[in-house]
C-alpha cells in the first residue's frame, strides 16, 4: 500500500509535530505513518480538508472488508482523529470528519498471561553456556516480571538516576520509568530481580568499554539492547524452557498484573503499578483473575464436573 504513493506533506508535517511536541516514540511514529498513508491512499489524491464523515465511513467499510479487525480500525481512526485535531489548530481546518465515527465491534480478546508455574519455569531456564548473555537476559526478564514494565520502558533504562528514560534504584529497590505520554511512575523491584540485576552489573562493566555508557542493558559489543533484540532473546529462552508457549515481552506485563491481582485483589494498586491512566484499562485483568478462579474451582471442587 505505502509503496504506491509518496508521503503527503500534511502527513510529514504532522509526524514532525508528534516527534518534536509530543516526543512520540519511534515505533509510535511508524504506526502513525502507516495509518496516515492508509488515509492518503483511500482519499485518492484529495486533501484531508476535502473529506467528509461519509467518506470516513466508506473508508472504514473498505478497511473492514480487507480483513482488518475492529481493534485495528479503532487505532487507525484514533490516528486520523488526532491528525484532524492538529489540522484544526494549525491549518485552519473547520471540520473533523472522524469525530463520532466508530469502528466495527470486535469480540473481546483477553491478554494472555503465563501461569505462576510457567513464569517460574521460564525464569529458571538456563538456555546456553554464555554466562554473560545469560546473566543479562535473566536480569531483564526478572525485572520484566517483577515490575510489569513495558518493552520500551525496559529497553530505555539507563544507569544514571534521574535519567529521562528511567533507572533502577538499587538501595531503595525501585525502578522509575517514564511511560506513555511522559507519565513517570516508580515501581518496586523484587529480591530475585535485584539479585539478578546486581549480578548483571558486575558482568556489564566488562562489556561497556567501547559502547553505550548510559544504557543499563547492552549487547556483547556494548550497544544498547533494542526492543527487537529483547524479543529475540525472550523467544530463545521460551524455546529452551520447553513450555511450548509463544512468549512475548508484553506477556510478562500481563502475568505481573494477573498474579498480583490474584494475590491482592487490589485493582487500584495494579492500575498504579502498570501506569494506566484509566481504571478501565486495568479492569481486563479482573477477567483473567476470574478465569484463574474458575480453573481452580473446576479442578478442585468435587461437584464442579459431572
pLDDT in tens, 39-63: 999 999 899 999 999 999 999 999 9
Element (H, E) at 143: helix 131-147
The answer to whether residue 248 is catalytic is no
Q: Residue 97 above 90 pLDDT?
A: yes
Q: Which of 4-8, 64-68, 79-83 has the highest mean pLDDT?
A: 79-83
Q: Residue 65 above 80 pLDDT?
A: yes
Q: Which of 136, 178, 259, 276 is catalytic?
A: 276
Element (H, E) at 271: helix 267-274
The answer to whether residue 246 is catalytic is no
Element (H, E) at 304: none
Note the pLDDT of residue 34.
95
Note the pLDDT of residue 128.
66
Q: 207-227 pLDDT, tens per residue?
A: 766 566 889 999 988 889 999
The answer to whether residue 301 is catalytic is no
- More confident site: 88 or 127: 88
Model confidence band, residue 290 (pLDDT cutoffs 50, 70, 90): very low
Nearest-Å Rg of the Cα atoms of the chain is: 22
Q: Which of 48, 55, 110 is nearest to 84 (CA)?
A: 48
With both helix axes pointing from N to C terminus, report the angle between 26-43 and 70-90 in degrees, rounded to the nearest 10: 90
Q: Residue 294 above 50 pLDDT?
A: no
Strand ranges (DSSP E) for 129-214?
A: 166-169, 174-178, 184-188
3-state secondary structure of 178: strand
Asked if 29 and 47 touch (Cβ cutoff 8 Å), the reply is no
CA atoms within 13 A on the CB side of 116: 9
Note the pLDDT of residue 3.
43
**Domain range summary for the chain, segments of one domain joined by +:** 9-90, 116-297
Q: Which of 180, 181, 220, 287 is catalytic?
A: 180
Q: Which of 185, 253, 254, 259 is catalytic?
A: 253
Q: How far is Cα 87 from Cα 93, in angstroms, rounded to an integer?
A: 6
Q: Which of 14, 32, 84, 285 is catalytic?
A: 285
Q: Which three cell numbers stand for residue 284?
A: 481486563
Q: Which of 150, 204, 224, 259 is catalytic?
A: 150
Q: Which of 99-108, 246-255, 257-266 has the highest mean pLDDT?
A: 246-255
CA dihedral defined by 200, 166, 173, 251, rounded to 10 degrees?
-80
CA atoms within 13 A on the CB side of 161: 9
Fold of 116-297: hpI Integrase; Chain A (1.10.443)
- The single-letter DSSP state of residue 293 is H
Q: Which residues pair with 166 in a beta bridge?
A: 177
The answer to whether residue 57 is catalytic is no
The answer to whether residue 224 is catalytic is no
Note the pLDDT of residue 296.
44
Q: Which CATH number fits domain 9-90: 1.10.20, 1.20.144, 2.40.70, 1.10.150?
A: 1.10.150
CA atoms within 13 A on the CB side of 238: 15
The answer to whether residue 150 is catalytic is yes
Asked if 274 and 282 touch (Cβ cutoff 8 Å), the reply is yes
Q: How far is Cα 231 from Cα 247, in angstroms, rounded to an integer?
A: 9
Q: Report yes or no on whether pTM surpasses 0.85.
A: no
Angle at 133 between CA 131 and CA 134, to 5 degrees: 60
**How is 24-93 classified by DSSP, letter by letter?**
--HHHHHHHHHHHHHHHHHHTT--GGG--HHHHHHHHHHHHHTT--HHHHHHHHHHHHHHHHHHHHHS--
Q: 138-194 pLDDT, tens per residue?
A: 999 999 888 888 899 999 999 988 888 889 999 989 999 887 767 788 888 889 999
Amino acid at each position: 500500500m505505502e509503496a504506491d504513493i509518496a508521503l503527503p506533506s500534511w502527513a510529514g508535517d504532522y509526524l514532525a509535530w508528534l516527534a518534536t511536541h509530543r516526543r512520540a516514540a519511534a515505533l509510535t511514529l511508524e504506526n502513525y505513518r502507516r495509518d496516515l498513508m492508509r488515509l492518503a491512499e483511500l482519499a485518492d489524491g484529495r486533501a484531508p480538508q476535502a473529506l467528509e464523515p461519509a467518506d470516513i465511513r466508506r473508508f472504514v467499510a473498505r478497511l473492514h472488508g480487507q480483513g482488518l479487525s475492529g481493534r485495528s480500525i479503532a487505532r487507525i481512526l484514533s490516528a486520523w482523529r488526532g491528525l484532524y485535531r492538529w489540522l484544526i489548530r494549525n491549518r485552519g481546518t473547520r471540520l473533523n470528519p472522524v469525530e463520532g465515527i466508530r469502528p466495527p465491534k470486535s469480540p473481546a480478546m483477553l491478554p494472555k498471561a503465563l501461569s505462576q508455574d510457567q513464569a517460574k519455569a521460564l525464569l529458571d531456564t538456563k538456555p546456553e553456556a554464555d554466562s554473560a548473555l545469560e546473566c543479562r537476559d535473566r536480569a531483564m526478564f526478572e525485572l520484566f516480571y517483577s515490575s510489569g514494565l513495558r518493552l520500551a520502558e525496559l529497553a530505555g533504562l539507563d544507569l544514571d538516576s534521574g535519567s529521562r528514560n528511567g533507572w533502577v534504584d538499587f538501595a531503595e529497590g525501585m525502578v522509575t520509568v517514564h511511560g506513555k505520554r511522559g507519565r513517570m511512575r516508580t515501581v518496586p523491584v523484587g529480591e530475585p530481580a535485584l539479585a539478578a540485576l546486581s549480578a548483571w552489573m558486575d558482568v556489564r562493566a566488562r562489556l561497556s568499554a567501547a559502547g553505550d555508557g548510559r544504557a543499563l542493558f547492552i549487547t556483547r559489543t556494548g550497544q544498547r539492547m533494542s526492543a527487537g533484540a529483547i524479543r529475540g532473546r525472550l523467544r530463545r529462552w521460551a524455546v529452551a524452557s520447553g513450555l511450548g508457549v509463544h512468549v512475548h515481552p508484553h506477556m510478562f506485563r500481563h502475568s505481573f498484573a494477573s498474579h498480583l491481582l490474584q494475590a491482592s485483589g487490589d485493582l487500584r494498586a495494579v492500575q498504579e503499578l502498570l501506569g494506566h491512566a484509566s481504571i478501565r484499562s486495568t479492569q481486563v485483568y479482573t477477567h483473567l483473575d476470574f478465569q484463574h478462579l474458575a480453573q481452580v474451582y473446576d479442578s478442585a471442587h468435587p461437584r464442579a464436573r459431572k
